[in-house]
Structure 1
C-alpha cells in the first residue's frame, strides 16, 4: 500500500516514467526500501486499472509516461489525511521468533535475545553514523533538499525503532530473570516444608535459568 501511494505522491508533482519513479522513491527513502523495477510497473498497472493514473503520450510499457488523474489526487489526499492503522499490526518476525522459542525444547531463549540485541545495536550504530553523515552533508549554507529532509526522517524512524526494540529485549530478559527467581523461591519453600523435591523443569524452560545466572553474575 505504501508503494502505491508513494508513487502517486511523486506523480502528483508531474508526469514521470517508471524508471524515474523508482529512482525518486529510493532517493526519498535513502534506498532503505529498494524497489524492483518490475514491482514499479506492476503497481503502475494496478493504479491505471483503478483509474488513479493514466498513460501520457505514446511509447511501450517501459517507456511510458504516466500522469495522475483527479481521482488519483483525491485518493492521495485521503491517504495523507488518514492515520496509519495500528490496530491491525503487521507480523513482526522477531516477536514471533521469541513467542515460538518459549516452550521449544533445545532453544536457549536468553541467547536468542542476546544475539538479537547485539545485531540491533550494531544496526542502530550504522543508522546513527548515516544520520551524522547526512547532517554534515547538509550543514552548508544552502537549504536542504526535499530528498535530504525525507532521508533524515526515515533514518530517525529507524533509529527510534531500533532503540525501542533494544528496550523491549531488555524487558523480555528481565521478565525471564524474574520468572526464574520465582520458580527457584517456590522450590525452596517446598523443600523447607518437607515436601518432595521440586520436579525438574522441562528443557524448554532452561533458558530462564541461563538468563538468571547471567543476571546474577552481572
Structure 2
C-alpha cells in the first residue's frame, strides 16, 4: 500500500492538513486500511523533504496545511501511469502456515485447510453482501464506488484463496493415499 502516493492524490485538489488527509484516506478506502495519524505526518515530512509537498500556511484552527509542488504532481502522474509490479509477492501467513504444517509431526494439514476454507467462505459471504449494499448505493454516493472496487478485490481474492485451498486439499489427500503430488 502506498501511503505516500495516496496522500499525494488527496492533496491534488488542494491544500489539506494531516488529520483531514487521514480521514479522507480512510473514507476513500472504505475503512479497509486504517491509517495512523503518525504515519500521515511521518509521510508528509518525507514528502516535504523530497520536495513533493510544501507547508502552505495554516487553516483557521491553526493546523498546518500541505500542498503539492510541481514535483509532487509529476510523481503522482507517474505513479498513476505505471503498473504495480508483482515480482515479489508479499509474505502470506496462510502459505507459511500450510508449509510449516505439512512438515510438522502430529498436524493434520487437511484439517488446517478445511478450517481455513470455512473461514474464507464466511468472509466471502460477508464481502458479497457488502458489495451488494455498495452497489445499491454507488450511484447516489461517489465514495461508494471506491468502496465497491475494494470489495470486488476482496471477493476475487477470497475466491482465489478458496480455489487454491481446493488444490492443496486434493494434493494432500492424494499424498495421504500413497499417490504422488
Q: Does 1:166 align with 2:139?
A: no
Q: SS of 2:33's equivalent?
A: coil
Name the CA distance, whole Å, in 1 between partners of 2:144 and 2:69: 28
**CA RMSD between the two structures:** 1.9
Partner of 1:80: 80
Name the CA distance, whole Å, in 2 between partners of 1:102 and 1:93: 14
Q: SS of 2:66's equivalent?
A: strand
Partner of 2:117: 117
Partner of 2:96: 96
Q: Does 1:31 align with 2:31?
A: yes
Aligned length: 179
Q: Which runs of 4+ in 1 moved over 6 A?
A: none
Name the CA distance, whole Å, in 2 between partners of 1:63 and 1:117: 48
Partner of 2:19: 19
Measured against aligned partners, the alpha-carbon deviations of 1:142-175 in whole angstroms (never above 9, x if no partner) come to 5x41x22111100100010001000000110001
- Normalising to structure 2: TM-score of the pair? 0.92
Q: How does 1:1-218 map to 2 (within 5 A)?
A: 2-58=2-58, 63-138=63-138, 142=140, 144-145=141-142, 147-183=143-179
Name the CA distance, whole Å, in 2 between partners of 1:63 and 1:89: 39
- Normalising to structure 1: TM-score of the pair? 0.77
Query: Shift in Å at residue 29 of structure 1?
Result: 0.9
Name the CA distance, whole Å, in 2 between partners of 1:108 and 1:74: 53
Whether the 8 Å contact between 2:138 and 2:148 is mirrored in structure 1 is no
Query: Shift in Å at residue 58 of structure 1?
Result: 4.1
Name the CA distance, whole Å, in 2 between partners of 1:171 and 1:177: 10
Whether the 8 Å contact between 2:48 and 2:54 is mirrored in structure 1 is yes
Query: Shift in Å at residue 133 of structure 1?
Result: 1.3
